[in-house]
């Protein structure tokens, strides 16, 4: 794999442009469209933001996020304090069912357990806790267990993709088996890939999505 100086330059520029990221201590390596992030940031939210920003750069096909979270003075919290804050954050989120998710915290790492009916609820549970002070990482082990049976899944996803301005629907192949969806084909960017994934998960009854979409022209 070759080093791409233009991609490297663009990734650095994107990180430096985002005001919520201190890129001073972030290292960037590029090889064949794969970007590796190293170094340190002040909190877990910044680590996740850095990854999201890099995925938005044209030419990035994959990101290895090896950034470590180095909490600054005044931002350390005990596991008990983090757990209490996380319980509160989930309780105050209107889209997460009450008592559906259990939390364990060890050395600043938050693990989410439980089951929800929809993928967006699983996503929201992680978003609710990863911005909390003192969090060093989040492991999301929440399961999606739909109450509805999956019907016409392939047709519903195809219709959703055709409605989307961000997706070239004819480049994507969809296979389904009950509530399981397998995505193949090509997309132009990580943004397009995430739109396709979200469309698949939005169909009632979907319990698993396997994303094999390739990024590239």
Choose one of 113, 144, 175: the last residue of a domain. 144
What is the rounded (10 degree) CA torsion for 41, 42, 43, 47? -20
Is the domain of 65 the same as that of 85? no
Instruction: Supply the CATH number for residue 83's domain.
Output: 3.30.1340.30
Is the domain of 161 the same as that of 108? no
Residue 74 lies in a domain: no
Q: Scan for tokens 């193949």, then name that residue.
A: 184
- Provide the pLDDT for residue 159: 96
Residue 37 lies in a domain: yes
Is the domain of 134 the same as that of 183? no
| DSSP assigned state of 49 | H
CA 1 to chain CA centroid, Å, is 26
pLDDT in tens, 14-47: 999 999 999 999 999 999 889 999 999 999 999 9
Residue 93 lies in a domain: yes
pLDDT tops 90 at residue 149: no
pLDDT in tens, 64-101: 999 999 998 899 999 999 999 999 999 999 999 999 99
For 94-148, give the DSSP string: TTS-TT-EEEEEETTEEEEEEEESSHHHHHHHHHHHHTSTT--EEEE--EE--SS
pLDDT in tens, 152-198: 999 999 999 999 999 999 999 999 998 999 999 999 999 999 999 99
- Coil, strand or helix at 38: strand
Is the domain of 61 the same as that of 91? no
pTM: 0.87
pLDDT tops 60 at residue 5: yes
Domain membership of residue 165 as a residue range: 153-215
- Provide the pLDDT for residue 2: 60
Q: Please give the tally of structural domains in the chain.
A: 3
**Count of positions (residues) in the chain:** 217
Q: Considering only the C-alpha atoms of the chain, give the largest distance between any 2 of them, rounded to a whole number of Å.
A: 54
CA-nearest of 101, 63, 108 to 83 is: 108
Residue 90 lies in a domain: yes
19 φ, ψ (degrees, to nearest 5): -70, -15
């Amino acid at each position: 794999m070759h080093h791409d100086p233009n991609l490297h330059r663009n990734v650095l520029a994107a990180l430096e442009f985002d005001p919520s990221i201190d890129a001073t201590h972030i290292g960037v390596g590029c090889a064949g469209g794969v970007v590796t992030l190293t170094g340190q940031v002040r909190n877990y939210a910044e680590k996740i933001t850095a990854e999201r920003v890099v995925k938005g750069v044209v030419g990035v096909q994959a990101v290895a996020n090896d950034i470590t979270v180095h909490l600054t003075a005044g931002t350390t919290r005990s596991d008990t304090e983090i757990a209490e804050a996380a319980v509160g954050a989930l309780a105050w989120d209107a889209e997460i069912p009450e008592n559906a998710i259990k939390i364990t915290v060890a050395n600043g790492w938050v693990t989410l357990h439980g089951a929800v009916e929809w993928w967006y609820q699983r996503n929201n549970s992680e978003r609710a806790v990863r911005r909390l002070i003192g969090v060093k990482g989040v492991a999301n082990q929440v399961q999606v267990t739909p109450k509805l049976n999956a019907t016409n899944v392939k047709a519903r996803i195809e219709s959703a993709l055709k409605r989307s301005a961000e997706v070239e629907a004819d480049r994507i192949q969809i296979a389904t088996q009950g509530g399981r969806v397998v995505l193949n084909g090509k997309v132009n960017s990580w943004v397009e890939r995430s739109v396709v994934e979200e469309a698949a998960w939005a169909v009632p009854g979907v319990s698993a999505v396997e994303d094999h979409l390739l990024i590239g022209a």
